[in-house]
Amino acid sequence: MQEKLTAIVAGVQESAPKLQTRAEFEAYKATISGPKGSLTDVMKGMGKVPKEDKPAMGKLINQAKTAVQAAFDQVVERLEAAELAAKLGPAIDPTLPAPDPSRGTLHPIAQVREEMVELFRRIGFSVAEATEVETEHYCFDALNIPSDHPARDMQDSYYLPDALKVNNVSKHADEKYLLRTHTSTVQIRTMLQSKPPIRIVAPGRCFRRDTPDATHSANFHQIEGLYVDKNVTLLDLKATLDHFVKTIFGPKAKTRLRPSFFPFTEPSFEMDFFSPDLGKLSNKWLEIMGCGMVDPEVFKAVGIDPEVYTGFAFGMGIERIAMILQNVDDIRYYYQNDVRFLKQFA
């Protein structure tokens, strides 16, 4: 029996490396450890072994089984590696150029933002940016927003924990940190750091406690503009916004200003535009931004003499402009990371 076990192990170790397919392996494995296999036949003979020889013979059988299984494991590992290699195809030369010609592109919101920024750059505006974490002073107080204004409620703004310390944003007084609700904070910081004339646009991300729906998102993007100089009038504001609308939406576009109220501008307006070249939105008055002449109280808060300087400010949602230009009817599409959607604007 010992000679049979030795012969079986030797045969397996010799034949296993020659097996090339899983079918060959399974067929050969059946001849060894299958119901009628040679190793199984030896194990069935244990009943005829004298009682005193059974421990030694059992040990030999276990050693043979272990050796056979090790050889079979090597075959399985080799066959699995070959099957995986067949699925992957031929080896790739990492020094060659990538076979995929597709390239990444700017997000559709970023595309519209860059188009708007470039438009204002061409008429003399520069780009200003600031932190997304702000204090109540820059977000509200310096903008003439009273302490009882609804925008300052916990239900409308994302306030941060009182114990939080932000090294690069110092507090003006005993106030809270919050995520900025508009990029008007950039206007305040710019006027504190620079002297008129000032002509900036401030694109950036903002945060409000809005319930997401087709036209609202808790995270959104704004672009605001500010022009401060001597003798700036409402006519300058209207001319600037007319140029923006006609450049973005076509030369046939028209604008109108409707009286409104904002704490940081006086007088204040909502601006609508009308265009015959917008598909299903053609020939409709659409509201796209708020604007107005900078309130003298805002100038006083930043140390600019309102008797000497005047200015205008405007602000709009970049997503709002993008949805009109790209014919998108749900703002949530921009944030779902669906490549099928994004590729339409590549």
What own/partner pairs with CB < 8 Å and gap ≥ 24 does 277-282 have?
277/249, 277/250, 277/252, 277/253, 278/249, 278/324, 279/327, 280/327, 281/324
Please name which of 69, 73, 80 lies closest in space to residue 32, comparing C-alpha atoms: 69
- Residue 145 · residue 219 · CB < 8 Å: no
- Residue 315 · residue 288 · CB < 8 Å: no
Beta strand extents in the chain (DSSP E only): 126-127, 133-135, 177-179, 198-207, 219-229, 254-262, 265-274, 286-294, 310-317
DSSP state of 92: P
**Distance between CA 325 and CA 327 in Å, rounded?**
6
125 Cα distance to chain centroid: 28
> Does an H or E element contain 78, and which?
helix 54-88
132 annotated among ligand-binding-site residues: no
Annotated binding site for Mg(2+): 266
Q: Which residues are annotated as a binding site?
A: 266
